[in-house]
Structure 1
Amino acid sequence: MLCSSTVALIYAGSISPSIQLFSVLVIGFISFRWTRHLYFTVSQPEITIASLTEPSAPASSPEVSSSPSPSGPEQPDQDQEEVDYPLTRLPYNEDTIVGLVSEVYRIYIQLGFINNRANGEPELVWPPPNGHSINKARCEELNLSPKVISLMQRLPYPVTSHLDIPFIPGSKAMVYIDDDQILDGRDPDRWEFDTPRKDFLLPHEIALATRDDEGINLNLNTEENSPSDDEDGNTDYRSLYGHHAPTFLAEYVNRLRCLEIIPGGARNYRWFYNEDDGKAKILREQYGWPYDFREAEWKAAVKDVQGRMDELRNWPAS
């Protein structure tokens, strides 16, 4: 019995601490789980698979007003079409047009395209301080606007329309110091032997150049500050796209300065090269165009070449 009791007591004594330890662990684990459950219940929103894959039910969310918040900027409607803001061009400025046209002719003179005759006779006439003396009676008869008449008086011109000096490639400059050109300029698209239509251009429009076989008619609208380039002889040329006149002329001046277009020849043999022809390389590297340009040497070379061409033309056939 003693042995049995002793064994029983020892067994009982050895189990009690284990039970106590197990109880402590169980209580601790339950306390830890309860704390985590309480923390997530209070501090975290409940996340379920449905909340990740499906929108919340309307009943469970408060009603939100569709009006924009007064504290923030109004967001543009993505479905609304974009607003096309019209481009307002600068108004017509006579000084700008005169300056750009004059710059074209200055470059022509620098490159020996005009005013480089062997006899020294000028091919271009610049306007005097008070403007050219043009036939104002003819202008009034044609009902030309004061802006058109004023521009005619201030532009530089070839000394005569018979020189056929181009203003741009393929287009001959109008010469309004010739009385006949005032009438001819009213109908730049006419055939050479047709009678000009006096009302083809509007009173506030002026032809700066008329096309040759492959050129364009360059008509300037002094009210809208835009030239229309009528390439196909369209009688309804006002339906064509109108360029911004200062931009159109300035781009041509820039192409001349950059030698994208190179005027060549003289007198009755005037033509234009492009920069791939080899003349641009010679002008830049041998004659210093444009900043260290040896203008006199270049003009002498052009004149010499032109003289040789004349000799070849007059050389008797063998």
Structure 2
Amino acid sequence: MSNNKGGTLRLTLENIQTPYNEDEFVGLVTNLYELLIKIAYLGRDQITWPPGGGHAINEDLCRELQIKPEVVSLMKRLPYVDGDFRYCIHLYPQSEPLSYLQDDDVERSRDPDGGPGRLRRDYILPCDIPLTAPGDEGPYLVLDVGDMSDTIRVIPWDEDPEDINPDGWELERPDDPRYYRNYYPQHAPSFFHRFMEKIETLEVIPSGCEQFERQYYGSELPEIRDPAMRVLIETYGWPDSFRQGDWERDVEEVWDGIIRQALD
């Protein structure tokens, strides 16, 4: 299938194709959580880590929803932010984590955009797994674990594929313009590495402040991000001489002061 002008096959935004590797992907998600712990966005005890044999997932419900075994296998091995707390944070900017320990989220995974009572249980393909759900009009992430895929899509709340896809990108379902797989795929490992690099370089900074919504601050809010960047680097030694314990102790007070000053 042609995906760009001139008839050249373009498989992902980066034009990279690698087979899906569950161990690699679990490692990437785990590394993201470890980074969020390091920067005190989450506490280690707020994450439900997979036991040795994997989480207990409702496999009967997964079969009813025709979710592929490869997806169920990944569900069992991912760390989760569980319970109601998952509605209070963003795992990706403006995007809430899903917990497949909860039957409601297993069902919601088939249609992250759908509301209560109007879920399309067959909207998301059986080989695809949403990693997040839309936050407050935010995007959600969908991983494709099919053979020779290893791709991820960012599905925005309010933009059509033609608004964000590269020029000439061919839609998978032209008759359904907002279909989630019409959005261009990205190489999943590269996507995660880029996102973690943005956090490590403080291009985006996740705020672990309880007094305000836990979210990421980037270039769209420099009045918050830039002071936080300076404090992390100049006062707490990020990244090479990072005093993590001191930052964990002070994080609430620091973020509260920065955000309140920006709001004044």
Q: Classify the TM-score, shorter chain.
A: 0.7 to 0.9
Distance 2:105 2:49 in 1: 17
User: What amino acid is aligned across from residue 302 of structure 1 in structure 2?
Assistant: V
User: What amino acid is aligned across from residue 101 of structure 2 in structure 1?
Assistant: I
Q: Is 1:105 the counterpart of 2:54 in the alignment? A: no
Q: Is 1:93 the counterpart of 2:17 in the alignment? A: no
Give the direction of change, closer, same or farther, for the CA distance of 1:83–1:235 in structure 2 (3 Å limit): closer
Counterpart of 1:125 in 2: which secondary structure?
A: coil
Counterpart of 2:141 (choices 203, 215, 218) is 218
Q: Is 1:231 the counterpart of 2:156 in the alignment? A: yes
- 8 Å contact from structure 1 (residues 124, 156) kept in 2: yes
**Aligned residue for 1:130?**
53
Counterpart of 2:205 in 1: which secondary structure?
A: strand
Give the direction of change, closer, same or farther, for the CA distance of 1:161–1:197 in structure 2 (3 Å limit): farther
Counterpart of 2:91 in 1: which secondary structure?
A: strand
Distance 2:256 2:184 in 1: 43
CA deviations over 1:83-138 (Å, ceiling 9, x no partner): 9476560111111211111111111111111118xxxxx21111112111111111
Using the TM superposition, give the Cα deviation of residue 189 of structure 1 relative to its aligned residue in structure 2, in angstroms: 1.1
The 5-angstrom pairing of residues 91-170 of structure 1 reads 91-115=19-43, 122-164=45-87, 165-170=89-94
User: What amino acid is aligned across from residue 245 of structure 2 in structure 1?
Assistant: A
**Aligned residue for 1:246?**
189
Give the direction of change, closer, same or farther, for the CA distance of 1:161–1:153 in structure 2 (3 Å limit): farther
Distance 2:109 2:36 in 1: 23
Counterpart of 1:301 in 2: which secondary structure?
A: helix
- 8 Å contact from structure 1 (residues 219, 228) kept in 2: yes
User: What amino acid is aligned across from residue 283 of structure 1 in structure 2?
Assistant: L
CA deviations over 1:228-252 (Å, ceiling 9, x no partner): 2111466412121111111111100
**Percent of aligned pairs with the same residue?**
35
- 8 Å contact from structure 2 (residues 90, 216) kept in 1: no
Using the TM superposition, give the Cα deviation of residue 212 of structure 1 relative to its aligned residue in structure 2, in angstroms: 1.8
TM-score, structure 1 normalization: 0.64
User: What amino acid is aligned across from residue 103 of structure 1 in structure 2?
Assistant: N
**Aligned residue for 1:291?**
240
Counterpart of 1:274 (choices 210, 218, 236) is 218
Work out which structure has the larger RCO, using CA pairs closer than 8 Å and 6 or more positions apart in sequence.
2
- 8 Å contact from structure 1 (residues 161, 175) kept in 2: no
- 8 Å contact from structure 2 (residues 90, 135) kept in 1: no
**Aligned residue for 2:171?**
none
- 8 Å contact from structure 1 (residues 170, 212) kept in 2: yes
The structure with the larger Rg is 1
The 5-angstrom pairing of residues 8-157 of structure 1 reads 84=8, 87=15, 89-115=17-43, 122-157=45-80
Q: Is 1:204 the counterpart of 2:148 in the alignment? A: no
User: What amino acid is aligned across from residue 272 of structure 1 in structure 2?
Assistant: Y
Distance 1:306 1:160 in 2: 25
The 5-angstrom pairing of residues 298-309 of structure 1 reads 298-305=247-254
**Aligned residue for 1:182?**
106
The structure in which a higher percent of residues are helix is: 1
**Aligned residue for 1:61?**
none
